[in-house]
Amino acid sequence: MMERDIPVVRSLLPRPHPPRRTLAIALMLTALLGSRAGAGTHASSEARSGLDIAAAAAQSWAGDASLIYIENDEDLQSGGTAPRWGYLFFSPALEKARVYSVRDGKIVVAENLEMKFEAPPLTAGWIDSGAALDAADEKAGRAFCREHGGKLSTMLLMRGAFSEGDPDQTTWTLIYTSPHAASLFVVVDASAGKVRRTWRG
């Protein structure tokens, strides 16, 4: 089973240098998880590749289900691809959310989300993960990785939560992590493909 680093968001505000003990723990965790990570033998693809079968399954689960969130479930590879992506759907009729995790064109996980999560549906026409990564890398991501020895850990697509100006905007949020520095968050407008904001946290 492949694992990946999960950055935990603490604040939207920039923060000073991390304390030494936190840094040490972060280094240990990164080394531990990093040794288990890898591309494996599964094909890596952009986020939209698994949407079709996930949507078909969601329609079987609930006719009113709509896509509300996407996240990479395994380590990201070059070009904004990952071997496995998770697609979260919400049904207002059932008042439940259900996730489908797709790898190699097959659903390998289907489970109800235990937590209450009523996010708005994603708008149509969102750019794929490769284009979002290009925009984020060019603006700040590449420089962050070069300066801090960081890497892209998470890409997530959702509507509202990370877009400050327009709450209706569907955005990709890319999170770059480094054992030596605070994580870099880059928010990309999923319609226009432009970077809207960046912050460290």
Partner 1 sequence: MRSHSIRQRLSAATPRARVPATTLLAVAAAVALHAPFACAEPAPEARAAPAVAAASDVATDVRVERVRPKREKHPTLRFLKENRDFIRARFDLLREKPDDHSGSAAAIDPRFLSYQHMLREILSARDSLAVAEDLRQRRDLFQSVTALGELEKELDLMENLLAAQRGRLGVMQADFTGRQQTALAIVVSGYPGDGALATLTITLDDGAPISIALSDEQRESLRRGGMLELFHGLVEPREQVLSIAIGGEGWPADDAGFVTLDPARDRLTFLRMDLTPAHAAQGAASMRASTWLQDTALDGSMVRASDGTPIRP
Positions 72 through 111 that interact with partner 1 (CB under 8 A):
73, 84, 86, 88, 94, 99-101, 106-111
Quick one: how far is CA 134 from the chain centroid? Answer: 15
If the CB atoms of residues 120 and 130 are measured against partner 1, the closer one turns out to be 120
Positions 11 through 50 that interact with partner 1 (CB under 8 A):
none
Q: How far is the CB of 125 from partner 1 (least distance, A)?
A: 17
Q: How far is the CB of 161 from partner 1 (least distance, A)?
A: 4
Of 37, 113, 143, 181, the one binding partner 1 (CB under 8 A) is 113
Quick one: how far is CA 38 from the chain centroid? Answer: 17
Q: What does the alpha-carbon distance between residue 16 and residue 132 come to, in Å, rounded to a whole number? A: 28
10 is an interface residue for partner 1 by CB under 8 A: yes
Given a contact cutoff of 8 angstroms between Cβ atoms, the answer to whether 130 and 170 are in contact is no
The pattern of x and - marking residues 139 through 178 that bind partner 1 according to CB under 8 A reads ---------------x-x-x-xxx----x-------x---
71 is an interface residue for partner 1 by CB under 8 A: yes
The residue ranges that bind partner 1 (CB under 8 A) are 1, 3-4, 6-10, 53, 56-57, 59-63, 69, 71, 73, 84, 86, 88, 94, 99-101, 106-113, 115, 117-119, 154, 156, 158, 160-162, 167, 175
